[in-house]
Amino acid sequence: MGKAKKKSHPKKRTAAFKEKEASELVDAPHSFIIHRGLSCPYITDLTLDFRKIMEPFTASQLKEKKMNRIKDFVTMSGYFHVSHMGIFNKATSQLSFKIVRMPRGPTLTFKVHQFTLARDVLSTSKRQYVDDDMFKSSPLVIMNNFTGDGKHLKLMASTFQNMFPAINLAQVNIATIRRCVLFSYTRDTNLIEMRHYSVQVVPVGLTRGVKKLVMGKIPNLSKCEDIADFIMQDGAASESEMEDDEHAQVVLPQTLKRKGNLEDNKSAVRLYEIGPRLTMQLMKIEEGLLTGEVLFHDHIVKTEDEKEALRKMVEKKRKLKEYRKKVQEDNRARNIRTKEEATGKHKKPKLEAAAIGDEAKEDSEPENDAAYYKEEVGEEPDEELFRAESKSRKRGSLPTGMKFKNKKLKKAQDKKK
């Protein structure tokens, strides 16, 4: 029989392990994407699809249980460098999406009007371009129409941008930009459209046959006598190239790994939607972590006097909570102190009796039995009375089998006790 394989345990995130982590990994924004509320298989799939968008700096294999609370995820956020948490909350009438800035807020609450899962988006697209390698790098964030009056628009735009790592244009490797996320805001309806695309860069100005050869595809030469016939049979551009707009064509500053995309050559950028889709509306912005002062509300507008009265009421509740907490701590400390005193009084007589007995015993111990006998009786003891082996016994105790034949000795011993 072969040896049993040892279980591989994950590395413990000790302080020494954290110091070895790269600065790019530590500084990058990490995220938790979870779902709460009523159970629904579609919401579970939507949560998994949104985790795909947040790759690679997200907990893609995060396991949730009903016993878990938001406080549990907040406690572990600092341990795993988590900066944002997305929460899909399913209620009986609607679906909401909350974005929380860890660990102290603010909290943005969105109402989800419509959503489409990634598998449904891919099933409706004619051309599907999905590669597992594209999720190894973070996506490019595109913000559209987040301008105008209102601090809530700026806060919303900065929150979306800060959920993903920033890109340094001077040092970025274009080959790592394989995905992009689009957030588009409509002023008339106050709706936000979120789309997720994969990015593909293809060379421009090549015929269909040359493009197949350049990109490493094996051509079908069964109808051609020579390779020149295959190249010259189609002098026009390919059908896919005709679909490209001139605005989508760029001059590459770097050479990409994909064949045919060389530096200082023109290439076309194509987007393939891979899902999911979200249509949502900002409803509320709270100052703290899922609680606190309401900074913005879409339906309710309050005057400054009402806001001031609300602040005073919140401050009063906070002070009352602190006072009650302090009273509870004082009561707990007093109960513990009372219990300790009661336990100490119960044991004190025994301790004092034992101490008195030890002192009496120490005072009653003479240097040897013979001296003790002479001191108490006033006569010299007989030679046979005390044997030599009795010297090794504890001082102040009589030898085994010895009885108080002398009344004076017995009387002195009782008096000493």
Whole-number pLDDT of residue 247: 73
Question: Which H or E element spans position 376?
Answer: helix 369-377
| DSSP code string of 128-188 | ----GGGGGSPPEEEEES--SS-HHHHHHHHHHHHTS----TTT--GGG--EEEEEEEETT
Length of the chain: 417
Query: What's the Rg (C-alpha) of the chain?
Result: 42
Q: Interior CA angle at 290 toward 289 and 294, to 5°?
A: 95
Whole-number pLDDT of residue 257: 73
Distance from C-alpha of 286 to C-alpha of 300, rounded to nearest angstrom: 13
Cis geometry, peptide bond prior to residue 381 (ω within 30 degrees of 0)? no
pLDDT mean by block of 10 residues, the chain; 417 residues: 55 60 84 93 94 94 88 90 94 94 92 95 86 91 89 93 90 89 94 94 74 67 72 55 67 78 83 94 92 87 86 87 92 92 64 49 52 67 57 48 54 64
CATH pick for 15-191+275-297 out of 3.40.640, 3.40.50, 1.10.10, 3.30.70? 3.40.50
Extents of the domains making up the chain = 15-191+275-297, 365-416
CB 148 within 8 Å of CB 187: yes
Strand-strand pairing, 140-144 and 82-90: unpaired
Whole-number pLDDT of residue 1: 47
CB 213 within 8 Å of CB 224: no
CB 135 within 8 Å of CB 56: yes
The pTM assigned to this predicted structure is 0.69
Identify the CA nearest to 194 among candidates 137, 272, 116, 136.
116
